[in-house]
Amino acid sequence: EDQVTQSPEALRLQEGESSSLNCSYTVSGLRGLFWYRQDPGKGPEFLFTLYSAGEEKEKERLKATLTKKESFLHITAPKPEDSATYLCAVQADFNKFYFGSGTKLNVKP
């Protein structure tokens, strides 16, 4: 069964304390893996697309990596404004998208 699992469900960090979020997946025919950021009451904001194992993408304090079974979103020296829910999605065969349940990140000053 195709599915996407994110961990942890919630993560509390002190400002400047680096960490990683995990997204593991089991899908048939991975076409792409996507990371989004979602603030409360708003639509998900696109962050990265990864297409193949070994690929990495960076944006400010965020870095996304991809292996054959999982993806990591590394957050370096986070700031309070990085607090949000981070969603992972996988695109499989026939253009089907599967979303994880998200990791709620809280960065304390």
Where does this chain bind another protein (CB under 8 A)?
A: 31-32, 34, 36, 41-46, 49, 87, 89, 91, 94-102
Cα(54)–Cα(67) distance, rounded to whole angstroms?
6
Nearer to another protein, 18 or 51 (CB): 51
Cα(30)–Cα(82) distance, rounded to whole angstroms?
28
Closest distance of CB 34 from another protein, Å: 6
Nearer to another protein, 28 or 101 (CB): 101
Cα(30)–Cα(24) distance, rounded to whole angstroms?
12
Nearer to another protein, 65 or 103 (CB): 103
